[in-house]
Amino acid sequence: MSKVTAKAVHEIIELTTELTSSQIQSLLDGGWTTESLLEGVQNGLSTYSDFTTLPLWEQRLLKEKEPWGSAPSETVKLAHKRLPMNGTVAEFGFGYGRDLVWLAQRRKRLAGVELSQVGFSSTYKRLCQLPGRKKPGRAPLEGISLVRASIGFGVLGQLAGAYSHRMLHLLDPKTQLPQAVQSMVRSVNLDGFLVIGARSYHDYDASAESLENVVYDKDGLPLKAEYNSPDRPGHILHYYSPRRFLNAFWPYCEITELWHGKELESVDAKNSDGTERFCHFITAVMRVVAHTRNDEPFLQSKLPILQEFPSVSENNASGLRD
């Protein structure tokens, strides 16, 4: 054991007596860092099993901290332009807070929903550092309400609008998506707007070695792809097209704008040739026209033209997969 590792083990053992030196060394050999282990302990992890059985998403946030960097997404910047300044705006699935923290510096009243304990804790800490958001001795954030729950937990409140980025494509269309859509729709006032970004069918890579199962729609566009790589076994993506947004949010919403964007898949993701790996997404701006299926359904006969964010170049990036 090196001096650096020995010091790291000592630091971790000081915080928890339930991890042995050999277990800590095993975790360090398995890709964990001293910093991520320490943060895991601070988030309530204490045994070897706690770390090895931790959901992939939680592990990724502990190990990578900010997988998509700290810069705001195109989706939240568009939401800031389109959603009214008066009233509360919420993010569904705020992750480690890159978009919510950015927006909290520009708006007074915000809300957010996130299931991840690591993401929730990280975001809360970052928001506390913003001027005027945390009062001494008081746990609640000034003007911001955070809920730790799954996206489909229920109605968040009477919102002026809501947004979400790169979350929808992870939800199972049958068991998770309907509840999530209803939660988002019913949380926003009628005639309010949702701004939702999800991974695009442009990302589908038929040559990916880890690709195992693919499902296509009637037009030949990929709907679902399962990737099995050593670091992300059984990873399933549900790709979105403009038509899929329409189907997912019918009969609750009218799609008023569609945008195609591109951003880094993650800060450390690389293609086989060593270049940065990008992913594509579609962001839909939607007006809430109904809260229940019993309301008079809105029939949208024509979709808006798919526009492109400035981040999209003429040439598509290759090797695109999450």
For the chain, 322 residues long, the average pLDDT of each consecutive 10-residue run is 54 65 77 75 74 74 81 96 95 95 95 91 90 72 90 86 95 93 95 96 80 84 79 81 93 95 84 84 96 74 91 44 31
The pLDDT of residue 232: 67
Crossing angle of helices 34-42/56-64, nearest 10°?
120
Residue reference for tokens 């798919």: 306
The pLDDT of residue 172: 92
Take residue 312 and report the two structure tokens written for it.
């999209």
* Residue closest to 199 by CA, chosen among 70, 115, 54, 73: 73
Residue reference for tokens 């990873």: 235
Between the two ends of the chain, the Cα-to-Cα distance in Å is 35
Question: Which superfamily is assigned to 74-308 in CATH?
Answer: Vaccinia Virus protein VP39 (3.40.50.150)
Round to whole Å and give the CA distance between 193 and 249.
12
Round to whole Å and give the CA distance between 43 and 117.
7
Specify the length of the chain in residues: 322
DSSP string spanning 115-162? Answer: --HHHHHHHHHHHHTSTTTB-TT--SBTTEEEEES-TTS-----EEEE
The pLDDT of residue 213: 84
Contacts of 256 (CB under 8 A, 6+ apart): 193, 285, 286, 287, 304
In the DSSP assignment, the letter for residue 314 is S
Q: What angle do CA 258, 264, 268 make, to 5 degrees?
A: 160
Take residue 163 and report the two structure tokens written for it.
């947004």
